[in-house]
Structures are given as C-alpha cells and as structure tokens.
Amino acid sequence: MVFALAVIAPRAFDVPVRLSQGETVSGTVIRVIEERLDPSPPRPTMVRTLEVEIAGRAVAVEETVAQGDAQLVAPEPGDRVLLQAFEGAEGTRYFIVDHVRGGLLLALALGFAALVLVVGRWYGVRSLLGLVATYVILIRFILPGILSGYSPLVVSLIGGIGIMASTLVLAHGADRKSGAALGGTALALVLIVALAEFAIAAAKFTGLAEEDAATVFHLFGGAIDARGLLLSGILIGALGALDDVTMTQSSTVFELREANPALRAWELYRRGMRVGRDHIASIVNTLVLAYAGAALPLLVILASQTEGVGTLVNREFLAVEVVRTVVGSIGIVAAVPLTTALAAWAAGRGADGDDNDDGGNGRRDSEPPLPYRPVETLDEVDLFEGRRSRRPEA
C-alpha cells in the first residue's frame, strides 16, 4: 500500500512549481563588525553588521530590525545561520532569515529513535518503520495531491486509511487483531468526516480564519479548497489518537480471549468496554490539552479581550478550534465501542464457532466447559513456567 500511494499514485499529480524568491544558503557568523541604534522616525531601528563566512569566503551582512518588530534571537559569533541571496545592481546581497537547527533536530530524532529501540526492541523497530511509512505517504501522496488541486478531503481520507493500514501492519503484524483495529479506525474516520463536513457547512466556515490557510488560498489563486483543507486537518489530527485507541482496544479483547478461550463475543465486548471506558476518561482530557497547547497563543489573545466568551466563541478563528476539538474527540470516543465490537466478533468467532469448529480450544461447543478455579495464592502460580502449579490434595 505504501508503494502504491508513494510511487504509483503521484504519477497522476501535477504539482505547480513556485518561483523561488532567491537562493537560500547557510553560513557561520565570524564576528560583529558594527552595532548601532538609528533613532530615525517612524521608529528607532537597531542596525547590526555581521561578518559571515559563506562557502569559504567572508561576506558583510547587514541586519536591520525596528524596535517592536518580531525578530530572531540575535546571531552571535560562531552561530550557524540561514541567509537569503538576492541579485541586484550592486551584486549579490545576503539577508539573515533564520538560525540553522538541522543538527539539533537530527540529534533529537536520533535520541528518540534510540530510546524507542532500547525500550521497544523488535516492536520498536517495527514502530519506527511505521513512522517512516507515515512520513512517506504524507510527503509523497497527501501533500502533492492537495497541491495538484484534488479534493483535500478525498486525498486525506485515502492517505489516512493508508497510513493506518501501513503502521498497524508494520508495528503489530497482519492478523485479526490489526484488522479489527483498522476496521474501527476506518469507521471512526468516516464518522469524523461526516460530522466535520456537517459542522463546517452549518457554521458557515470559510476555512480562511487561520493565517496559514489564507496564505495557501491566495498563494495558489484559490485553486485549493480552503474548507476542504480545514476538514482534512481535522481528519489527520485525529489519526494519531485513533491509532492508540483502536489498537489498545483490539489488543485488550484478544488478550481476554487468550486468557479465557471460553468467553463468547458478547462477554468479550462487555469486558473490553470496561477498559475502554477508562481509556475514554483519559484520552478526552489528553485531546483537549493537546489542542489547547497548540492554540495557546490564540487563547492568550482571547484572555486579553473585553468581549465575553459567549461572544468570542462565535468568531470563526475560535469556533474552528472548538469544532476541531469536539469533532475529533467524538470520532475517537466512538472508535472505542466500534473497535471493541469488531475485535470481540473476530476473537469470539472461535468460541461461538461453527458446528464443526472446536473454537481453537481443542473441544467442541457441545462439550461441557473445563472446570475453572481462580488462583487464590501466589504459591499456586509458577512464575517461571507461566502455568498454575498443581494444588496438593487436602
């Protein structure tokens, strides 16, 4: 599936090429040549002239920042910086646009991968492969598909199901347990799409309340559907939590089935939902905090307004966040009973069985169940062999 979405499907895409505003290069700050404050109106301006080494040669770069403007952390000697090159009548001029952070990000990513491998071992390797599959589908299928003018909703839905199928199979293997998790995820995604589409239409959202969305809309001349892009963001944002919820529920049900093969599908569902309700209680708060953290600057702005919350919530930039949080949470909560039901049906087929099916426990359903006695003391448990020791006769 990864091959189909990342290699075959992109051949149908026609991604528009944007003209570059200038070449971006990296350099190292050698020293500060001059630093002065220009008091000229309308606002005082800080002017710094830096000597930067670019491709083995020293270049003087002027950095000008008006007081009160957003600015970079001032580069110091030894810092690696990104510079934009512009050709003019006086030759090539360079402007510092940001700091180079690639080395730090690579170190963090390697540290994360190492921790996953140490703790997860073989499962860690498989989960990292699933992460790579997610990145490949996102970069090679979802983004080019949207840029090519295809429906963001359709592209994101296909890509999201592809991501979940790839990550679940790579991380957990291709079995009934992963199949139940994938089925629950697909049903939850359909529910999220339906609810989000209804909410966006009913609330009369333009999809342009966020600055980045407005930039994309105008940059591509309105060729990209802003409302579809908003819906796609809601869908993709819920994928990560869906992976956690659906796989946890499916694993719980199959573990219950393995612990007691006599359990029927309804009993598996009932017991699985006990765990699911605990999961719901924790995941809902997690989702709200995750969205609140991402929108914290917006919340700070709202806290400083004189308008009441009842008025502010009607404004699109805030209403969008409410819809994003609520719709995503509804889909994730609904995934718990959906996945539990699918997993119980898949795991309980052996117990319910056909007429000629032994249910996977070595006996026919017509035979009476084996006697069961709960373990009462630790002395009755063989911790090394994983089986119950024989109880001495009284």
Residue 187: predicted pLDDT: 93
321 within some domain: yes
In a domain, 8, yes or no: no
In a domain, 3, yes or no: no
Question: Do residues 145 and 221 share a domain?
Answer: yes
For residue 46, give the CATH number of its domain: 2.40.50.140
Does one domain contain both 128 and 65?
Answer: no
257 and 160: one domain?
A: yes
Per-residue pLDDT, 365: 40
pLDDT greater than 50 at residue 385: no
d(C-alpha 234, C-alpha 237), whole Å:
5
Q: Please say which residue of 84, 100, 116 terminates a domain.
A: 100
Please name the amino acid found at residue 286: T
Give a yes or no: residue 191 inside a domain: yes
- Is the pLDDT score of 77 beyond 50? yes
Residue 271 sits in the same domain as residue 178:
yes
What's the pLDDT score for residue 352? Answer: 47
User: Is 239 in the same domain as 271?
Assistant: yes
Residue spans of alpha helices (H) in 173-225: 176-202, 211-219
Higher pLDDT, 47 or 30: 30
CATH number for the domain including 205?
1.20.1640
- The lowest-confidence range among 14-28, 108-122, 333-347 is 14-28
Q: Is the pLDDT of residue 19 over 70?
A: no
| 392 vs 384, higher pLDDT | 392
User: How far is the C-alpha of 96 from the C-alpha of 59, rounded, in Å?
Assistant: 12
> What pLDDT is stored for residue 1 in this prediction?
62
- Cα distance between residue 194 and residue 196, in whole Å: 6
130 and 278 inside one domain: yes
Amino acid identity of residue 36, one-letter, is R
pLDDT grade for 338, boundaries at 50, 70 and 90: very high
pLDDT at residue 345 is higher than 80:
yes
Q: Does one domain contain both 189 and 337?
A: yes
The residue with tokens 């409302």 is 227
Q: pLDDT value at position 11?
A: 66
Domain's final residue, options 100, 116, 149: 100
Domain annotation covers residue 265: yes
In a domain, 327, yes or no: yes
User: Could you tell me if 274 and 164 lie in one domain?
Assistant: yes
The set of residues, in sequence order, having a beta carbon less than 8 Å from that of 321 and lying 6+ positions away, is 291, 295, 298
Give residue 70's pLDDT. Answer: 63
Kindly tell me if the per-residue pLDDT of 157 is higher than 60. Answer: yes
Q: What is the pLDDT of residue 20?
A: 59
> Given this model, what pLDDT does residue 357 score?
39
| Mean pLDDT over the full length of the chain | 80
80 and 131 together in one domain: no
Exposed (0-12), middle (13-18) or buried (19+): which is 312, by Cβ within 10 Å?
Answer: middle
Instruction: Single out the residue of 189, 359, 169 nearest to residue 260, CA to CA.
Output: 359
Q: Supply the DSSP string of 26-61, one letter for each residue.
A: EEEEEEEEEEEEE--SSS-EEEEEEEEEETTEEEEE
pLDDT of residue 32: 87
Residue pair 200/208 in contact (Cβ under 8 Å)? The answer is no
Same domain, 54 and 134: no
Please indicate, yes or no, whether residues 231 and 341 belong to a single structural domain of this protein.
Answer: yes
Distance from C-alpha of 165 to C-alpha of 246, rounded to nearest angstrom = 12
Do 120 and 195 contact (CB within 8 A), yes or no? Answer: no
As for how many domains the chain has, the answer is 2
User: Which alpha helices (DSSP H) does the chain contain, by range?
Assistant: 2-3, 102-120, 122-137, 143-147, 152-172, 176-202, 211-219, 226-259, 265-294, 296-303, 309-312, 316-352
Residues 151 and 245 in one domain: yes
Q: Give pTM, 2 decimals.
A: 0.72
What domain range is 85 assigned to? 23-100
* Residue 51 covered by a domain: yes
pLDDT at 4 over 70: no
387 versus 201: which is more confidently predicted? 201
Q: How sure is the predictor about 199, in pLDDT bands with cuts at 50, 70 and 90?
A: very high
119 within a domain of the structure (yes/no)? no
Give the model's pLDDT for residue 387.
44
Task: Indicate if the pLDDT at residue 375 is higher than 50.
Answer: no
Which pLDDT score, from 0 to 100, does residue 21 have?
Answer: 64
pLDDT of 80-138, one tens digit each? 999 888 887 777 888 888 899 999 999 999 999 999 999 988 888 988 988 888 888 88
Q: Which residue has the higher pLDDT, 309 or 68?
A: 309
Q: Is the pLDDT of residue 282 over 80?
A: no
